[in-house]
Amino acid sequence: MKREFDLSATQSQDFLRYFKASIRNPKTGMIHGDGQGRFKDDFYETEQSVSFEYKGKKLFVAWKVIQYPDGRLKSIENTSAVGDATEFDKLLTEFISDIFEKVINRKKEKFFQRTYLTTVYDETLQGEYWIEGFRFAPLFPDDDCTLINAERIFVIDQSIEAVDRSHATEIARRNSSTIASYLSFILDLGLDEPEHEVKYFLHKEKDVEMLRNSTQLIDTNFPEKMPKKGEHCPHVTFEGSIYDTVRNIVGQPLTCPTETRKIFRKVSEASEEIQEAFNSASRMYQLALILGKRRPSIRAAYQYGAIDSIIQSNKKKYKGFTVFMSRYADTNKDLCELIHSKIRSAHWHAGHLPLGEMRHELDTIYEVSDMPITMISMEIQKIMRLALINWLDEQIAFSK
């Protein structure tokens, strides 16, 4: 049995999703079998030997899938010969035709998907937020811990239309990655995936001792479907503004600013160029907050990278870093040169940490350009964030 195809790249990807969904083990959600892939004669060939069930019959098939370099599907064939080849090929032909019909009809199901984000902060969310197509809420609604620098875990709940649960998981993870970067930028708080590691922890029972434990996250209250509003925790209001100079104040609950939903909605409605520019910028900004939490030089370098990713999206319009900063944050050239050369370039190209990370003297005030280092760090963080916010506001007018 061999079937040739004339499908677009999108249709080809849909076909392969339905194809993989049909040969997965329904109990494990995995494809059990041997497989390999390689480029051959300007095509990409995948060979997959797998056992699966179709129309009540257990089948073992050695599939060969051939794709064009651009992802379009060229052909699928069975390279195994089992029993009555004619009857076997007829059954496989029906199997492929059923999948093709699903592609044409775009038949999909809805699946509930939950992903997790973590950060270290003094307070947690006081309840849930319903934002464009997802629910953002604390994993532990009863977390009233006010410890400084305590880990907080949040959930992103989504209802996903997909071919099967594995496909839904792929979509949910991709969406969650974008959502996490947007929220990191909006909240000015680094949101990351939970770590699955084994670390030392300080225990204080009878004696103080260090014990090594796993950081694995287990959600014992995982719901079967999308929660209803207010079912697990109260719905809280959007407070403050993304323009607030200080977004996160010690002792104050973590809240989403009033522009949050509007930003998500308007970015989704914006042009492809704006979406891609903001996606790249928010990812870099998220990394700035995560990697630069204790290293201001790294934070500044990645914030610069966030701005540079926008500049690279349209070099004719934005020219360069100094022009961008002057336009969107009214920044003087001296400060721009300090950020560009003495901090960003010194870090990226020379491996330096110029904002004091490598100085360990206890009784020294270290200065750069006659300004205390802490003031420089705070100023450049504030001014680059302001430039990014003003740029986004100009593109999608979220503050109007």
| pLDDT (mean) for 334-351 | 88
**Average pLDDT, whole number, for the chain?**
88
Nearest to 309 by CA among 155, 185, 174, 127: 185
For the record, the structure tokens of 87 come out as 């009857």
pLDDT at 356 > cutoff 80: no
Q: CA 4, CA 395: separation in Å to the nearest integer?
A: 45
Q: Which of 215, 236, 261 is the last residue of a domain?
A: 261
State the pLDDT confidence band at 370, using cuts at 50, 70 and 90: very low
> 105, 127, 151 — which closes off a domain?
105
CA distance 296 to 275: 28
| Mean pLDDT value of segment 212-233 | 90
pLDDT at 292 over 60: yes
**What integer is the mean pLDDT of 233-248?**
87
Q: Both 239 and 123 in a single domain?
A: yes
What pLDDT is attached to residue 153?
Answer: 94
Structural domain range at position 97: 2-105
Q: How many domains does the chain have?
A: 3
Encoded amino acid at 43, one letter: F
Both 228 and 297 in one domain: the answer is no
Q: What share of the chain is helix, strand, coil (3-state, %, to 5)?
A: 40, 25, 35
CB 259 within 8 A of CB 270: no
Q: What whole-number percentage of the chain has pLDDT above 70?
A: 94
Judgement on whether residues 96 and 115 belong to the same structural domain of the protein: no
**Same domain, yes or no: 229 and 243:** yes
Please measure the distance between the N-terminal and C-terminal CA atoms of the chain and give it in whole angstroms. 61
Residue 117 and residue 243 in one domain: yes
Instruction: Of 39-48, 200-209, 217-226, 332-341, give the lowest mean pLDDT range.
Output: 200-209
Q: Which of 88, 105, 122 is the last residue of a domain?
A: 105
Domain match, 300 and 168 both: no
**Residue that has been written with the tokens 């600013």 in this structure:** 257
* pLDDT given for residue 82 in this prediction: 58
Q: Where are the alpha helices (DSSP H) in the chain?
A: 9-23, 85-105, 165-187, 260-269, 272-291, 296-313, 315-318, 321-329, 333-337, 346-348, 373-396
Say how many C-beta atoms besides its own lie within 10 A of residue 218's C-beta: 6
62-111 per-position pLDDT tens digit: 999 999 999 999 999 988 765 556 788 888 999 999 988 888 888 889 99
Beta bridge partners of 367: 372
What is residue 168's predicted lDDT score, i.e. its pLDDT?
A: 92
Q: Which amino acid is at 78?
A: N
Q: Is 197 helix (H, G, I), strand (E, B) or coil?
A: coil
Note whether 30 and 64 are same-domain residues. yes
Q: What is the pLDDT of residue 57?
A: 86
Q: Mapping DSSP to helix (H, G, I), strand (E, B) and coil, where does residue 359 land?
A: coil
DSSP 139: S
Q: Locate 239 and state its tokens.
A: 């407070």
C-alpha closest to that of 63 among 73, 72, 55? 73
Contacts of 347 (CB under 8 A, 6+ apart): 297, 298, 300, 301, 353, 354
Same domain, 147 and 289: no
CA distance 24 to 26: 6
Q: Map tokens 């992103």 to a residue.
A: 156
Which position has the token pair 């949101």?
191
Cα–Cα distance for residue pair 95/22, rounded to 1 Å? 9
In whole angstroms, what is the distance from residue 381 CA to residue 289 CA?
10
Read off the pTM.
0.84
Q: What is the dihedral of CA 94, 97, 98, 101, to 10 degrees?
A: -160
Of 4, 185, 237, nearest in space to 100 by CA: 4
Q: Is the same domain home to 317 and 244?
A: no
Q: Give the torsion sign (CA, 383, 385, 391, 396).
A: negative
Model pLDDT, residue 369: 46
Residues 98 and 146 occupy one common structural domain: no
- Residue identified by tokens 């904002």 is 355
Alpha-carbon span 41 to 165, nearest angstrom: 34
Task: For residue 64, count CB atoms less than 10 angstroms from its CB and return exposed for 0-12, middle for 13-18, buried for 19 or more.
Answer: middle
